[in-house]
Amino acid sequence: MSITHTAPRFTSTLTSQCQSCSLSALCLPIALADEDINRLDQIIERKKPLKKGEVLFRQGQSFDSVYAVRTGTLKTFNITSSGEEQITGFYCPSELLGLSGIDGNVYPVSAKALETTTVCEIPFSHLEDLSAQIPSLKHQIFKVMSRKISDDQQMMVLLGKKNADEKVASFLLNLSNRFKKRGYSATSFRLSMSRGEIGNYLGLAVETVSRVITRFQKNEMIEVDGKEIAIVGLTEMQKLVGVASDCDKIKNI
């Protein structure tokens, strides 16, 4: 696999790419000294863009690197014993994927681009070495993994306890929060995954996802135009999911 840098590699001797990258505040939300950022920058490879449907890594393949999404979206998935795909996550810009490969030295899932996507590849052995020299970097890695664990546990609650409406609403709010965090609109965005992929991820049939979305539209919680979504009843939606202050538990929708 050949690596094509999206920008001349040598520029990082002057200004590191990480430093000028608009995502660094999310990717590195720690106060790394300039020289440390440069050291991190040195080990990162910018890969050439993946086209929609291309695979970043494959379940069972040996684990070498974690990846930070720069633009686009990916999904991770398993192939179950019965041959169907089971989606385990979607990854938006600034998010890290591949961490589940550390144990076992093999990726336990495959990762595929949902649209044209660029990623930074971070060879894990280098990252581990570097984390030994930069304690705050090590702490940051712990944090990212810890966060992933508690997020996944939230997801388990969602899958186990919530009904179709709550699942879809949680999904939309989760995306909304992720977009907001990276500076995009929290109320108006484009779903890069199909209804089928949403259903697969949420443990729902396509038809159910479609029906729920239609219902939300009729209730004027969202406006939909194909893959474009606008959340117009944010508070109402939060109430549905149960995020809201515990006081208004009694109120109806």
Partner DNA sequence: AACGTTTTCTGACTCAGATCAAGGTTTTAT
Partner DNA sequence: ATAAAACCTTGATCTGAGTCAGAAAACGTT
Out of 43, 79, 127, 205, the only residue in the binding site for DNA (CB under 7 A) is 205
Q: Both tokens of residue 173?
A: 């709010």
**How many chain residues are in contact with a second copy, going by CB under 8 A?**
53
Burial (Cβ within 10 Å: 0-12, 13-18, ≥19) of residue 246: exposed
Interaction between residue 31 and a second copy (CB under 8 A): no
Cα atoms in the 13 Å half-sphere on the side-chain side of 140: 20
Q: Are 193 and 229 in contact (CB under 8 A)?
A: no
Name residues contacting a second copy, limited to 87-146 (CB under 8 A). Answer: 88-89, 99-104, 106, 108-109, 128, 131-132, 135, 138-139, 141-146
* Residues 94, 12, 134, 91, Cα dihedral to 10°: 10
Look up tokens 């939230």; give the residue: 154
186 binding partner (options DNA, a second copy, none; Cβ < 5 to 8 Å by kind): none
Minimum Å distance from CB 232 to a second copy? 23
Q: Which residues bind a second copy (CB under 8 A)?
A: 60, 78, 80-83, 86, 88-89, 99-104, 106, 108-109, 128, 131-132, 135, 138-139, 141-150, 152-153, 155-157, 159-161, 201-203, 242-246, 249-251
Q: Which residues bind DNA (CB under 7 A)?
A: 52, 163-165, 194-196, 199, 203-211, 213-214, 224, 226-227
